[in-house]
Structure 1
Amino acid sequence: MLSKEKLARINELARKGKTSGLSKEEAREQSSLRSEYLAAFRSQMLDTLTHTTIIDPQGNDVTPEKIKQRKKRNLH
C-alpha cells in the first residue's frame, strides 16, 4: 500500500481541488498519485482474491475457475 505521506498528499490535493482549484502541476501530481494508489489497491485486492476459497452452504468448493487457475500459477 502507499505510504501515509502519499495518502495524506492525495487527500490534501483533493481538498484543495474542491476549494481553490489545482495548478497544472498539482493536477499532474494528483493524477500520478491516484494512479499509483489504484495500482496498489488492485494488486492487493487480486492477492486477497487469489488466497480466497469460496464454499457453498453444502460444503462444496465453488471458487471461480479463474481464481483456481491463478492459485495454481502462483504455486509454481
Structure 2
Amino acid sequence: MLSKDKIQRINELSKKSKAEGLTLKEQKEQKKLREEYLQNVRQSFKNQLKSVKVVDDEGNDVTPDKLKKEKGQDGMTH
C-alpha cells in the first residue's frame, strides 16, 4: 500500500500541474509516483483475483485453470 505522504504528494503535483505547470524534476517525480501507485493497484487487484472462486448454477467449481494455477503457486488454494 502506498503511504499517505506519497498519495498526498501525487495530489499536490497534480494540482500544481493543472494550475501552473511542473518543472522537469517534478514531472519525473510525478511519473515515478504514478508508476508506483499503478503497480500497487495492479498487485492489489491480482491478490483479490487469487481469492475468487467461480461457481456455476449447479454449485460446480468452474474457476479458470490459469487462476487455479496462480492460487496454487501462492499456497492460497481454497
Show structure 1 runs of 5+ residues with no match. Answer: none
**Which structure ranks higher in relative contact order (CA pairs < 8 Å, sequence separation ≥ 6)?**
1
| Residue pairs, 1:23-42, within 5 angstroms | 23-42=23-42
Distance 1:56 1:12 in 2: 46
Residue 19 of structure 2 is matched in structure 1 by 19
**How many pairs align?**
76
User: What is the TM-score with the length of structure 2 in the denominator?
Assistant: 0.88
The CA deviation string for residues 15-57 of structure 1, in whole angstroms up to 9 with x for no partner, is: 1111111100000000000111111111111111111112223
Show structure 2 runs of 5+ residues with no match. Answer: none
User: What is the TM-score with the length of structure 1 in the denominator?
Assistant: 0.90
